[in-house]
Amino acid sequence: MTEYKKLALSLAKQAGDIMRANFELGMKKEWKEDKSPLTITDLQINDLVIKEVKKNFPDHDILAEESSSLNGQSEYVWVCDPIDGTIMFSHGLPICTFSLALTKVGESILGIAYDPFSDRLFTAEKGQGAFLNNKKIFVSTESKLDKVVGEYEMFKMAKYNINKVADHLTMVEEAKLTRLCSIVYPACLIATGDLGFAIFPGNTAHDMAAVKIIVEEAGGQVTDLFGQEQRYDQPINGCLVSNGVLHQELLNLIKRFVDNK
């Protein structure tokens, strides 16, 4: 096991412990400028990641949702979402994950996503495959949109409006869509073959850096919203995540309904 992976696994366990300990109904929360909630748990885990990465790899940078530590000098950047799914977490619904990736020159080389409530740990390293609780996982081979479940997220401050894509998928293609207010978790379920695709219209790298390597190491495909590769240590251009088989068909729909400005 690499020293990088050892740290990532330790952080996932510690983050999971904090999430479980703080999970309760009536949770205190603040509302950020983007209208998303912020809890003490988000801040505790964010601070933990910065502290531990700086202790173990002082030259590395950290890009995280709530606060970062960036000097712009390192080719290595740890990209973290302390709780992907804070809306659900803070409202008593345990549909959320801790998400952490290590990027090298913008490429995800290690990804971890952990749901402490169901004890599901997704891991992937470059060229080593993707795993759920140490069991190798693979995307589905389903080629028909009406035979898969997909996830999409939409919010006012999103970079792109994908509502017409979602409408077409449900009303014409008869795909089944979920909207879980959490993109990492359903994207990881593409890696297990349970979901077929996910569409993310935002520009936040912490939502997709771990997903990129976990899904692709499971045999799937992850691109920006219009089919291009991108860096995951800086703002992104949306994301399309799929089992690979469905990717081009979904790209065609996105290009048809979404204005690429």
Could you report the per-residue pLDDT of 177-202, keeping only the tens digit for each? 999 999 999 999 999 999 999 999 99
Return the residue matching tokens 């949702």.
65
User: What does the domain layout of the chain look like in residue ranges?
Assistant: 3-135, 145-257
Considering only the C-alpha atoms of the chain, give the largest distance between any 2 of them, rounded to a whole number of Å.
53
pLDDT of residue 248: 98
Q: What is the pLDDT of residue 73?
A: 83
Domain 3-135: homologous superfamily in CATH? Fructose-1,6-Bisphosphatase, subunit A, domain 1 (3.30.540.10)
pLDDT in tens, 125-171: 999 999 999 999 999 999 999 999 999 999 988 999 999 999 999 99
Of the options 3.40.640.10, 3.30.70.260, 3.40.190.80, 3.20.20.140, the CATH number for the domain spanning 145-257: 3.40.190.80
Which of 76, 149, 85 has the alpha carbon at shortest distance from 117? 85
227 vs 41, 131, 189, CA distance in Å? 35, 25, 21
- Which stretches of the chain score pLDDT less than 50? none
